[in-house]
Structure 1
Amino acid sequence: VRVLQMYTIGRDKYMKYEHPISCRTFTINEDLGQIGYVFSDKTGTLTQNKLVFKAMSIGGVRYSQRSELPSENCELIQRFLTVLAICNTSFIVHEHQELMHRIDYQPKYEGDNADDLVLCQTASNFGVRMISRSAQNIIVRYINSTNTEKQDIDYEILCLLPFDSTRKRMSIIVRLNDQIFLFIKGAETSIWPHLSSFNETDMKTIIEQHSLNFAEQGYRSLLVAYKQLTLREYEDWFERYQHAANSLENRDEAISDVATEIEVDLMLAGLTAVEDKLQDGVPRAIATLRCAGIKIWLLTGDKQATALSTAQAASLVNIPQTLSSENTSMTNSNAPATITWDFSASAQAQLNQYTHMIYYSSQLIEMNQQLHTRDEAIPDEIRTSETITRMSEVIAAQKLPVSLVVTGDDLNTILRYKPKEFMQAASQCQSVIFCRVSATQKRELVSAAKSVFKHRILAIGDGANDVGMIRESHCGVAVYGREGSQAVAAGDFAVDRFECLRRLLLVHGAWCFTRTSELILYTFMHNCAYVFVIFYHQLYNGFSGAVTLHSLYLTLYSSLFTVLPQCAAALFDQHVPAERALYEPQLYEYTLHARCYRMWSYWINIFDAVWQSTVIFFMGYFSYRHESYMDVSSFGFAMAFCMIVTSLIHVLLQTSRIDWSVIASIAFSLLVFLGFTLIFDATCIQCIPGESPYKVSYETFRQGRFWFTSILTIITAMIPRYIVKSIYNTIKNPLM
């Protein structure tokens, strides 16, 4: 059944865009109906990962994609563009290599890293064009502003230090004639601490302001820097690098440590800003999932301002129109709050800040006063515990939804000291955003959430840095992306867009959970009924072990005569139509909280099985006990007939809607039973030693009492089930 359920999910045309949805496992179908938390990557998952260059800041001057570069500061601009052209892992595809000598020749760049591609193309558009690349060298073509002259310069590659999610930067060391340069680009938090003190303070301040402006517009920004090395400096470092690269233990950590040694005293070249638009349907999908009771946590490597801007556009957070940094409360005290906590600061400092960001209530005033005398110079463990406690109190004091933003390196402190307490506090928020997190932190977050939350955890991402959290989660979903197929290979499901999550969970997840639940309950019920019929017969034969039912009917009862309707219901029954599930997402809570599979559901089905078996056996016994034509074989056949027909009708009553496939399967199963019975009874005289069913069904079918008793028995057996379901649907069923 699970395999066929996966097949129907994969065939859903409403989740097919460039690729159909890929289902790589059939063991977690019903888990899709109990997802309480979604841990989502941002780039390539919520966004299109189709980067568009928007602006750059060089020497404190901002240039847009349509700007004409000035003749002044020419050297600074050229150096900035050179870093963009060289510091990447893109490769070149020459579609018309015979035109390579022409000044307007434009090669095609390809690669797995979208940032590298867009920045390399940007440098090319501004006249600094990488036209050839090998493992040993890079040829860069410099074109003047009038496109009349060109100069090709060959850079020898000495060492490439690729990007990783821990360092959050990449660098390359090249030689030009007798000069050696290190070119580097990366996240601002990974570059700023490594800048040389010789950088102009004013320019750094301007670039910081530009960075903030870019982030507020939702742009992703990277810092670009460089450094000139002496030959001795490079050779000494390269010897240590080779030793680290050849180490057998902790090789990656050793290389990272050695790379950090050379990536210091950097000169700032500038700042880039690229736009990565949201995928179509993301705001609607997130809003729908939140209405369904699913909490979405965003895990991104971007800085706080960029993450907040994207989260707001995606309907993940509702940022108030006015948040004052002065000693005033919010302009709109009824607006949802967004709280940013810095776990490296004291709890006192946190309250000083957030009494201005959220409604200034008496609880906050009291907490503020309690902390005035606290010493800020306390150990991280105590500080983290205190901060989480206060944060939880602040969140609990709010009457409106709260979104939480965790910034900086605080996550390491949280996961080290108080993961459980933090998770419990964060679970009170409508959404949580983690900024500047690494792949390892993503995996550790999911692991901590699994140990605390009772609901299933879903992780969704598109890149290699998401593989850890995808594998760690209960249900991993990969998005077909532009950064390789590692995530797709690791995921339980692979989709084209984040929007597919809406239908995957609210429709297929809920369907699979209710279908599987009903299948389990039905299996218990109809096998229990069959056992009790045999038990009642033992009361009348002195527990001799003799069975009134023919052994072949006992064997085929579950494996042939009743199995098809069960499977049809488990594949095609819909407790709610797909359209209603999407437009009334709150119905997802029916499966999220397992309201269709409680302990009382199990006992109701057991009692129903006892009732059905009691009615089938005793109505038959008291009806046939004085009939001369009714021997043990005939009585057993009458019991088998009533059991099978009752079981088939039970499936019809159990389904949420009348579906042609279920009706057809019931009719087919009944025909199979009758056809098998007539053929078997007509041909088998002594085919089974000790049991002769010859002509039993033929004689039984001729008796009017058999038909009257059977119809009355079946109706009586099904009456409680019909009454209970009617009352439940009328009074309590949340789906009606």
Structure 2
Amino acid sequence: MIPISIKVVSLDLVKGLYAKFIEWDVEMVDQETGTASYAANTAISEDLGQVEYILTDKTGTLTDNKMIFRRCCIGGIFYGNENGDALKDTQLLDAITSGSTDVIRFLTVMAICNTVIPVRSKAGDIIYKAQSQDEDALVIAAAKLHMVFVGKNANLLELMFNGEMLRYEVLEILEFTSDRKRMSVVVKDSQNGKIILLSKGADESILPSARAGQHTRTIAEAVEHYAQLGLRTLCLAWRELEEDEYLEWSVKFKEANSVLVDREWRIAEVCQLLEHDLYILGVTAIEDRLQDGVPETIETLRKAGINFWMLTGDKQNTAIQIALSCNFISPEPKGQLLLIDGKTEEDVSRSLERVLLTMRTTTSEPKDMAFVIDGWALEIALKHHRKDFVELAILSRTAICCRVTPSQKAQLVEILKSCDYRTLAIGDGGNDVRMIQQADIGVGISGREGLQAARAADYSIGRFRFLKRLILVHGRYSYNRTAFLSQYSFYKSLLICFIQIFFSFISGVSGTSLFNSVSLMAYNVFYTSVPVLVSVIDKDLSETTVMQHPQILFYCQAGRLLNPSTFAGWFGRSLFHAIVVFVITIHAYAYEKSEMEELGMVALSGCIWLQAFVVAQETNSFTVLQHLSIWGNLVGFYVLNFLFSAIPSSGMYTIMFRLCSQPSYWITMFLIVGAGMGPIFALKYYRYTYRPSKINILQQAERMGGPILTLGNIETQPRTIEKDVSPVSIRSPVYEPLLSESPNATRRSFGPGAPFEFFQSQSRLSSSSGYTRNCKDN
């Protein structure tokens, strides 16, 4: 049962404020674009403080999505290797000047195999409007190499090459899809009437379609070389078509476009009929630099116990290099990459078993283990070896998944959610939308690939580095405040209920209420709501301290502030305070000639005084506003009741005037506060002084103004799996949420049987913790 005062008045209001705090945070504004953070979902801010897995896209999320053409390989010749810039390579410029056939074709594919639209500015300059940053980089590079895309009029394309105008008519566009991993255009050369197929795409999509007899070994080596440098690669190809072949194919293509069932599959099948016997021209290498602050952000969040998975459509080597550069994984010997590959079920099974065995046997070593898997092997693993893959997912803190499709990204999120992990997915493009929507928390980056991800997400930020502040500051504060607010609201409601129950016993269970209707109505609406709502600005630690010591997020991840044990504590406090208020009030006033209204007002006054001190005790950072809300609210209680007591028809006429004129009333208040708060203050002093938590240590250091030398070891403990535990049963009691609006949200606690060794272990698989994770088999 959730009191209406919690659900409607308090929680919804403060959750809306949490969202506004995120939007008002000037430190989360991208200064380059002026983009501020935005919270589309106001119900899950506290979930940010309990994130355990972050699944991130690479391009545009970790990187800047500013594509720069750096190198290329055409006809087996490498350009740009010496100076790192193919645009300034004299050998390439000489080949263009001499009219090398392969080079001209290569530049032509770069310039027109795309969906770019050239637009002339008022100054006469050509500006390219591109959906993809890769296409934009290729068209700009081609223009700098004298193959300038100058105009597009309906289906007619115009190129300017060394002062000569070239015109091509676009006959068909074979669009890029995540399954085909390539794009093609069929054009007709207006100069000679030839019909040409131009293609570009991933190496595993283009190279198998090479014509018989063409040696593609040099191209494959170039792709691997560029990928080792962390560059994005695309293979370019060309094929001249016979007119009869094109016309016959065109009919099939139009039929495929008109079907209503399995249209995408039919189109891909028809495209395959044309995209074969390609002449591979070469490969491009494009640089996409990391965003500022990405390595530091990932390092900080990993210290907070958050695991990272990179889900990308790029090549394996490119993804690994980016992962190394942004602290996803540690280089040898501190880190170790385990590769899962294979084209058949048997190969993938053998590779998966080998990696699992390595994970199990090396968990005692302080090594950063990560596994790498591509989309093909992932498809086989999820279909035939899902149980083993789930175990691997739990054992590994880091994963790099390459060449994965949008649906596979969503599947990986679903696997982690099935094990009751709190997941956050972050991306910037349309291919990340399914992953973002599948996760418990979706974060979109307002990037250069549009706003599809940002609009589909719960939160939108301008840069990846803002994720650190979103989780550690806003997520943690929101969780702490919600934990206090929800439990305090139960406490104050139970307090008045217990007093009513006790009174019913001495009144013969007559149904008589100790409090009048006005007091009961005003109790939640006026007397106790303001102080607790102002707790929305309370901070147990400064933002600087939180960012310097991200390990304290473990308390939120473990549900230490909101779980059955803490709720039991507040329940006990309400029962204890109800006994104190009732017993002292009865002994002080029941044997005098007191009216029922006077007795009820004394008990109500005791409740209000106690709650003022409870809120003061639980407040960590006092401001003028908080002092006004706590003590001003106490004064307001008396002001309101003096007004009611001055109204003859109110039923409380002169009661407050009489009570406040009696010394016994103030002595009773003093006794209630002393008896009710004394033991609680003593217990808090004992814990703060003799058994301080890591947060208490940080609070003491803040108040004393001294540095914090160390908070203990934060390295993860060895991950082991009990022999008698099922491979997918790796974690224990999961505390279901007391209050949550997110569909699959859970509040986790390590349970009474497993001491929370805060800085000794953050491992989910430590056998000493004695907990298991129950995953759902899908």
Shorter chain as denominator, the TM-score bin is 0.7 to 0.9
1:443 to 410, 417, 420: 410
Matches within 5 A, 1:289-300: 289-300=301-312
Q: Which amino acid aligns with 2:659?
A: T
1:198 to 213, 219, 226: 213
8 Å CA contact 2:349, 2:385 repeated in 1: no
8 Å CA contact 2:311, 2:402 repeated in 1: yes
Q: Which amino acid aligns with 1:539?
A: F
Q: Which amino acid aligns with 1:606?
A: F
TM-score by length of 2: 0.83
Please name the residue that 1:211 is paired with. Answer: 223
Write the distance in 1 (CA, Å) between the matches of 2:304 and 2:685: 27
Write the distance in 2 (CA, Å) between the matches of 1:234 and 1:727: 85
Measure how far apart 1:420 and its partner are. Answer: 3.9
Counterpart of 1:409 in 2: which secondary structure? helix
8 Å CA contact 2:340, 2:348 repeated in 1: no
Measure how far apart 1:178 and its partner are. Answer: 2.2
Please name the residue that 1:13 is paired with. Answer: 26
Measure how far apart 1:383 and its partner are. Answer: 4.9
Measure how far apart 1:387 and its partner are. Answer: 5.0
Post-superposition Cα deviations, 1:536-583, rounded to whole Å, max 9, x if no partner, equal 1111111111112121111111122111111111x1111222111111
Cα 1:394–1:154, aligned 2, differ >3 Å: closer, same or farther?
farther
Q: Which amino acid aligns with 1:508?
A: H
Instruction: Tell me the matched-pair count.
Output: 667
Measure how far apart 1:95 and its partner are. Answer: 1.0
1:578 to 522, 531, 543: 543
1:65 to 76, 79, 87: 87
Measure how far apart 1:389 and its partner are. Answer: 4.4
Write the distance in 1 (CA, Å) between the matches of 2:667 and 2:571: 27
Matches within 5 A, 1:75-86: 75-86=101-112
Matches within 5 A, 1:621-660: 621-628=586-593, 630-660=594-624
Q: Which amino acid aligns with 1:108?
A: I
1:729 to 688, 691, 696: 688
Counterpart of 1:518 in 2: which secondary structure? helix
Please say which of residues 71-80 and 38-47 is displaced more in the overlay. Answer: 71-80
Please name the residue that 1:154 is paired with. Answer: 167
Cα 1:471–1:464, aligned 2, differ >3 Å: closer, same or farther?
same
Please name the residue that 1:375 is paired with. Answer: none
Q: Which amino acid aligns with 1:639?
A: A
8 Å CA contact 2:473, 2:547 repeated in 1: yes
Measure how far apart 1:726 and its partner are. Answer: 2.4
Write the distance in 1 (CA, Å) between the matches of 2:266 and 2:625: 62
1:704 to 639, 655, 663: 663
Matches within 5 A, 1:438-517: 438-452=405-419, 454-517=420-483
Please name the residue that 1:136 is paired with. Answer: 155
Write the distance in 2 (CA, Å) between the matches of 1:276 and 1:241: 35
Please say which of residues 405-414 and 179-188 is displaced more in the overlay. Answer: 405-414
Please name the residue that 1:179 is paired with. Answer: 194
8 Å CA contact 2:335, 2:368 repeated in 1: yes
Post-superposition Cα deviations, 1:186-238, rounded to whole Å, max 9, x if no partner, equal 11111111111232x2xx22222222221122111111111111111111111
Matches within 5 A, 1:66-465: 66-68=88-90, 69-71=93-95, 72=98, 74-96=100-122, 106-143=125-162, 150-176=163-189, 177-199=192-214, 201=215, 204-320=216-332, 334-344=333-343, 383=350, 386-387=353-354, 389-390=356-357, 392-394=359-361, 396=363, 398-452=365-419, 454-465=420-431
Write the distance in 2 (CA, Å) between the matches of 1:92 and 1:676: 71
Please name the residue that 1:324 is paired with. Answer: none
Q: Which amino acid aligns with 1:154?
A: R
Measure how far apart 1:181 and its partner are. Answer: 0.6
Write the distance in 1 (CA, Å) between the matches of 2:234 and 2:312: 15
8 Å CA contact 2:340, 2:351 repeated in 1: no
8 Å CA contact 1:318, 1:338 repeated in 2: no
Counterpart of 1:152 in 2: which secondary structure? strand
Post-superposition Cα deviations, 1:112-147, rounded to whole Å, max 9, x if no partner, equal 21001010011111011111113311111111xxxx
Counterpart of 2:121 in 1: which secondary structure? coil
Post-superposition Cα deviations, 1:401-422, rounded to whole Å, max 9, x if no partner, equal 2121113510101221233431
Measure how far apart 1:496 and its partner are. Answer: 0.5
Measure how far apart 1:384 and its partner are. Answer: 7.2
8 Å CA contact 1:395, 1:429 repeated in 2: no
Alpha-carbon RMSD: 1.8
8 Å CA contact 2:237, 2:278 repeated in 1: yes
Write the distance in 2 (CA, Å) between the matches of 1:316 and 1:386: 24
Q: Which amino acid aligns with 1:4?
A: L
Cα 1:221–1:379, aligned 2, differ >3 Å: closer, same or farther?
closer
Measure how far apart 1:503 and its partner are. Answer: 0.5
Counterpart of 1:427 in 2: which secondary structure? helix
Please name the residue that 1:352 is paired with. Answer: none
Q: Which amino acid aligns with 2:505?
A: L
TM-score by length of 1: 0.88
1:42 to 49, 58, 68: 58
Write the distance in 2 (CA, Å) between the matches of 1:643 and 1:608: 12
8 Å CA contact 1:58, 1:76 repeated in 2: yes
Does 2:649 align with 1:686? yes
Please name the residue that 1:356 is paired with. Answer: none
Please say which of residues 32-41 and 429-438 is displaced more in the overlay. Answer: 429-438
Cα 1:73–1:198, aligned 2, differ >3 Å: closer, same or farther?
farther
Measure how far apart 1:592 and its partner are. Answer: 0.9
Measure how far apart 1:728 and its partner are. Answer: 2.9
Write the distance in 1 (CA, Å) between the matches of 2:541 and 2:116: 49
Counterpart of 1:233 in 2: which secondary structure? helix
Counterpart of 1:705 in 2: which secondary structure? helix
Write the distance in 2 (CA, Å) between the matches of 1:408 and 1:437: 4
Cα 1:382–1:460, aligned 2, differ >3 Å: closer, same or farther?
closer
Write the distance in 2 (CA, Å) between the matches of 1:96 and 1:554: 71
Please name the residue that 1:355 is paired with. Answer: none
Matches within 5 A, 1:668-687: 668-683=632-647, 685-687=648-650
Counterpart of 1:56 in 2: which secondary structure? strand
Post-superposition Cα deviations, 1:644-670, rounded to whole Å, max 9, x if no partner, equal 121122111122333333222113322
8 Å CA contact 2:341, 2:351 repeated in 1: no
Post-superposition Cα deviations, 1:82-116, rounded to whole Å, max 9, x if no partner, equal 0000001111111148x5xxxxxx51112221001
Write the distance in 2 (CA, Å) between the matches of 1:395 and 1:418: 22
Counterpart of 2:250 in 1: which secondary structure? helix
Write the distance in 1 (CA, Å) between the matches of 2:87 and 2:395: 43
Please name the residue that 1:548 is paired with. Answer: 514
Measure how far apart 1:280 and its partner are. Answer: 0.3
Write the distance in 1 (CA, Å) between the matches of 2:377 and 2:347: 10
Q: Which amino acid aligns with 2:94?
A: P
Write the distance in 2 (CA, Å) between the matches of 1:734 and 1:557: 36
8 Å CA contact 1:611, 1:717 repeated in 2: yes
Does 2:720 align with 1:720? no
Q: Which amino acid aligns with 2:175?
A: P
8 Å CA contact 2:199, 2:236 repeated in 1: yes
Write the distance in 1 (CA, Å) between the matches of 2:504 and 2:375: 73
Measure how far apart 1:70 and its partner are. Answer: 2.0
Taking only the aligned residue pairs, the percentage that are identical comes to 31
8 Å CA contact 2:185, 2:197 repeated in 1: yes
Write the distance in 1 (CA, Å) between the matches of 2:210 and 2:558: 52
Cα 1:168–1:395, aligned 2, differ >3 Å: closer, same or farther?
farther
Structure 2, unpaired ranges of 5+: 1-13, 80-85, 697-778
